[in-house]
A and B are shown apart, each in its own frame.
Chain A
């Protein structure tokens, strides 16, 4: 005979009781869909003074990545990307030949460099808006907002120096996503009021941040300089860093001034260290493509190279087996990267003097930082072209891997009438094939998802 645990009626009563309990507990369908998302920081959670400070920190950090590296090591900053395009470094990493050989494939690594243009420019807008909404007490407000304005100016001008004409810049308004397309000149022009806003916002005590804004503004002015009005344009730029450039009685930006962008061994690792010292992805160039400078063989102390006891540079196999050298200019992951310096102020003055035909001032300004650093003074090369070469060589060595070089090479073409094939690496590419014709970078392929942008207006210098 079949046995059972319960009588049928007991089962029925139990089931009905369970069904009743279930009905009561599940009467709210919202409860059935209730989930926790503690990792997600909703917009309302950052709508506060503390949230504004956190957005400011992110803006500063994003600028670090924009210029010099990525937190995860999956991307490089504009200093490395543009250094590859120029003659500063060579690629020992498979897949980056396109940019190293001046034939950029916008779909390939390191396309993330462009991502950081958008990340940084929009975050600076958000952070400034947040600080204006929740202003810090006292002078901190002026310092913090002024600093962000100055960095926004640098973001725009560096983008103008390195990228093609006609690039989109996001609005930073997340309620209405969009972008506006700017030519290089428009970007340089757009940078100027950012520096003006910085100077207007910063207090008098923020002298170093004021120097930062003044050097930045001068750099933007240089970017706007035209051949026809070169002397005046450069003079106007130089005036910004000279005594009186920040109003009556203001001091010149001192030669030993330096504004460092921070990195760390933990979060945002200096990409030059991460990709050129810790791992052999890139190496410093030496006379790359005929026109490249002798960054290694010159033994210039401004670009320290790992060397053997006999002074010859150590050679190691790159990631793709390319023999490369190692630069120790940023020997650790937390090595800071100079964004603006008094040296740049002096060299801007030198360039202005050169344009004005004042060879003595030109040479004095070129040598001032050298002498301050304990290097030998340089002799006047006598000809105008040679003086230009010397000036831009000094800039190349002083500003090695600081995202200046492409802007300088483009100015040599655009303003000084040089041919691209006389300043950029050219001829046979050392891994095979020949160098292309790129003189600037173009936004990554993902930017083509922008309904208002499809391509650069032009790729001219």
Chain B
């Protein structure tokens, strides 16, 4: 026996001793055949696998002897050794997700060593791309679900975006970004495959570098919390992101378990590559504007009529209805638009700046990516010069900067990502991100003294406050609302391959935010009439909140791979996770501040509050993936979770999943279809959950103070009845679809059908008020598992390269779209609320619009004015339509000129099949009485009908304000110029440089919506739904110039 043979025997024996069969291993496997037979014909194959583009070693690449079970994984240096390879001619195949597979034919001699090095190209074919899931990275072809990947870096280069959500907008089928209101710093909302939950968050789970990333609305935010919300995702710096994988539904997200029912956004930040430092820098300068001119306010004027029908008295307001009833005779109509009046105009175009410096590089021992960016944006609000002068005269000093520009965003972000080769078989990836943000927002929201109300409900003439209802804009802007956040997100991921067949990973991380925010008006500042938000008139006051928000993540996992036969291979993954969320919050308020004081310490009235919220969860999963000839993939897995929020009587929750992916076009028998080069069939089924809050299951009392004997005395009463049987909301999803590649993948098509149903949907079940089990004015309620919500739909994504990129002119097109049918299947016989407008009705979409329908109208007396008796209204409530889009699509066209030296890109965004509550017009035509249709006899009769019935005291309906919301928005356009290499080297001493000019929210190309902006929606939030444009300014328009340079 020679030395190699002895070594083989030894290895085999050790393998038998250490690892009971059957084990997952490449290489010599215990075999009943005589050892001498193996020894007699064996050789060794070794080599190194590197990235063709960068020359970097590729770790964890699978190197296989085709037709056998012999193989190896590369170590961190890219090296591999396969021993006991049968002598003769063998085909060596190297596979690594994210790279194109490569094969080499070798001749292995008995006892000889053969060297084979591989230099792999990065994958360009869609199926070979890498997606990141709960079990780690895997190739798209092996995943039974459709997973969308947004390559953030390339988007930022081509068309600068101002937030992460803008990256996602219009680029992924089935994912809807519901636009933020037109205010710098306001957040958009994300819905993936519809709205599933009646009462809990419908936002996806966000994971950044393996750590759960908080995307709740800011706690204790004293901004315009009910109408212009700020989500924490907006703190994530888009410039630091490499890619975002969008895992759309429970069938794909089952292994993420509780919290993943709304889908998962898996964010990977940029990492360094070995080599000399590569510096990139960018600078953006832009303009931010409010494109809408808003609507004028109207007022009809006339004289009252006495009983004889004779005009009497002075000039008074005379609305159309009063005129028609011969209560007055109208003689004139006036209109005034305070938004455009020089002395009250609140909007002016403002600047935006964004600059950053990034460097990456390192050695094979340590690779790094460092980033530092600074963002400064002033929202389009500005105190008019007249107001500055008035306040300067009144106060003796000019208003402060944040009062003149009450909407400002400043964010500094830093990131340091490090990859360390700990050992030949172990790596450590450390990711650290820090952001510091300051956001000022103008006083608005639902406050009567806030900006929207003061401007939109004012009478149609120049009032004493220059056209507003009763407050000067300078006084409104003098109420400061400020939020400051310091956020650290960090993770350490250890990957260890103790044996070739076994990979272990451990990820720990934290997401921590320290936040301070307040609303304040100093003494002798702010609005003047009554109680605007807390203090009386200008007595001064402050509400403040300080909070510490922590999210801990621990994720442990192990993956074992083995070749079962020459055709079948197996990948088994087990994992365990523990998460804990903590929010500690201290709030205070003080009203009646002495002059010059900006803290509540000396206030006339002071209150303090403290809140603690904690939630913990652990879970484990096992997942088995079988692969047949690298073209058929069958996966089954199950996860179990336990959460501190579940009721005491509830055990662990189980989330199973199964999927299949079949690259059928690689079968020999697959018929040759002209131009079709790739076809994959896929299907998946699975469950995932959403958890209730920590205290949802508890029965507890609440405490507050009550007046007693002239003092404030604490008292306690039951606040929540609890539910010990509370379970998580579980959503089950079935999806199947196909991926096609035509014309050598120049045309890619993804088509998917999904059916997602929330069962045991958590519902804050309203209890009858007579039960008296709540604290405060809210009716009592109880978390129960009641409702069933279904989302069924289709998704389509088409990528086309009409002209190959290599030519002088290239043209890429991406079209993605979806149709979603949402329905409340069951509400457990609960009498759901029936307010006019958005409500939930069994058998209809969540948050659909309902009221008595206006069936028709006719100006019977031909006086041009409709009255109630000329309008026909239905006797029972009817469904007008859903409030979330049924159809959505994004169309991106990118043209490259001169070998892509110049690139022109445009994105059109379509939403359709839904309705808006047109709340601001309802307010104006109803309570405020200052819209055109209640004052101007020339107003269209349909508008008059809507207004008349909204004002009816006996047969009121707001049906007339349920308006179609379909639109196509010209979302973005950019022109990017890559400067000639010779020029950049000679004059800029850099490798590359580019200049990009872009515009965002350029206009609405088509819409059925009659109001200011079809995307204005103040009623949507993380949890809720609905579509009401009141208090939501139209979206902002951006023009940005960006210069990128790399050296």
Contacts and interface: CB of A to CB of B under 8 A. Distances in A.
A123 B775 CA distance: 10
B614 A35 contact: yes
Given A320-B928, A433-B868, A61 B769 contact: no
B928 A94 contact: yes
Interface string B634-645: 000000001110
Nearest to B607: A266
Nearest to B617: A33
B448 A279 contact: yes
A435 B953 CA distance: 7
B953 A431 contact: yes
A11 B423 contact: yes
A5 B770 contact: no
A56 interface: yes
B1036 to A, nearest CB: 29
Given A117-B770, A449-B768, A453-B768, A278 B536 contact: yes
Nearest to B929: A321
A378 B615 CA distance: 69
Contacts of B769: 114-115, 117-119, 443-444, 446-447
B601 interface: no
B954 A116 contact: no
A245 interface: no
A112 B777 contact: yes
B768 A58 contact: no
B715 A4 contact: no
Interface in B512-567: 530-531, 536, 556
A445 interface: yes
Contacts of B363: 3
Contacts of A56: 715
Interface in B254-292: none
Contact of B77 (A2, A178, A321, A446): A2
B707 A108 contact: no
Contacts of A449: 765-768, 830-831
B707 A268 contact: yes
A434 interface: yes
B1023 interface: no
Q: How large is the interface on B (under 10, 10 to 19, 20 to 34, 35 or more residues)?
A: 35 or more
B772 A123 contact: yes
Contacts of A94: 923, 926-928
A32 B777 contact: no
Interface in A75-114: 75, 93-95, 97-98, 101, 103, 105, 107-108, 112, 114
26 contacts: A2-B78, A2-B364, A8-B425, A11-B426, A32-B616, A34-B644, A40-B695, A40-B700, A41-B700, A41-B716, A42-B698, A54-B703, A58-B715, A60-B715, A95-B927, A107-B833, A112-B779, A126-B717, A177-B721, A267-B704, A267-B712, A274-B531, A321-B459, A428-B325, A436-B953, A447-B770
B954 A101 contact: yes
Contacts of B835: 107-108
Given A72-B776, A119-B774, A33 B506 contact: no
A167 B770 CA distance: 9
A383 interface: no
Nearest to A127: B717
Interface in A1-20: 2-8, 10-12, 15, 18
Interface string A437-461: 0000001111111100100000000
Interface in B587-621: 605, 607, 610-612, 614-618
Interface stretch (A43-51, A212-220, A295-303, A358-366): A43-51
A118 B77 contact: no
Contacts of A116: 777
Contacts of B717: 55, 58-59, 62, 119, 123, 126
Interface in B827-841: 830-831, 833-836
Contacts of A54: 703, 714-716
A317 B365 CA distance: 74
A85 B284 CA distance: 60
A29 B576 CA distance: 12
B612 A118 contact: no
Interface stretch (A168-176, A203-211, A246-254, A404-412): A168-176
Given A107-B835, A432-B951, A39 B772 contact: no
A334 interface: yes
A420 to B, nearest CB: 15
A239 B697 CA distance: 52
B612 A36 contact: yes
A34 B769 CA distance: 33
Contact of A42 (B459, B699, B831, B926): B699
A3 B719 CA distance: 62
A57 B715 CA distance: 5
Interface of B: 57, 76-79, 321-322, 325, 363-365, 420-426, 448, 457, 459, 470, 494, 496, 498, 504, 506, 530-531, 536, 556, 578, 580, 605, 607, 610-612, 614-618, 642-644, 694-695, 698-710, 712-719, 721, 765-774, 776-780, 830-831, 833-836, 868, 923, 926-930, 951-956
B771 A122 contact: yes
Contacts of B778: 115
Nearest to B578: A32
A238 interface: no
Contacts of B956: 97-98, 105
Interface residues of A, number: 110
A421 to B, nearest CB: 15
B720 to A, nearest CB: 8
B504 A15 contact: yes
A-B pairs, 7 with minimum CB distance: A94-B927, A61-B706, A122-B772, A57-B715, A2-B77, A58-B715, A450-B768
A177 B707 contact: no
A264 B426 CA distance: 66
Nearest to A9: B423
A70 B607 CA distance: 17
B777 A72 contact: yes
Contacts of B448: 279, 319
Contacts of A433: 868, 951-955
A71 B701 contact: no
A54 B770 CA distance: 22
B835 to A, nearest CB: 5
A321 B77 CA distance: 77
A154 interface: no
B772 A34 contact: no
Contacts of A132: none
A70 B706 CA distance: 11
Interface string A262-295: 1111111000001000111000000000000000
A6 B426 CA distance: 9
B420 to A, nearest CB: 7
A429 interface: yes
A75 B774 CA distance: 15
B421 A37 contact: no
A231 interface: no
Contact of A37 (B580, B695, B771): B695
A71 B780 contact: no
Contacts of A12: 496, 498
A265 B767 CA distance: 31
A121 B614 contact: no
A174 B718 contact: yes
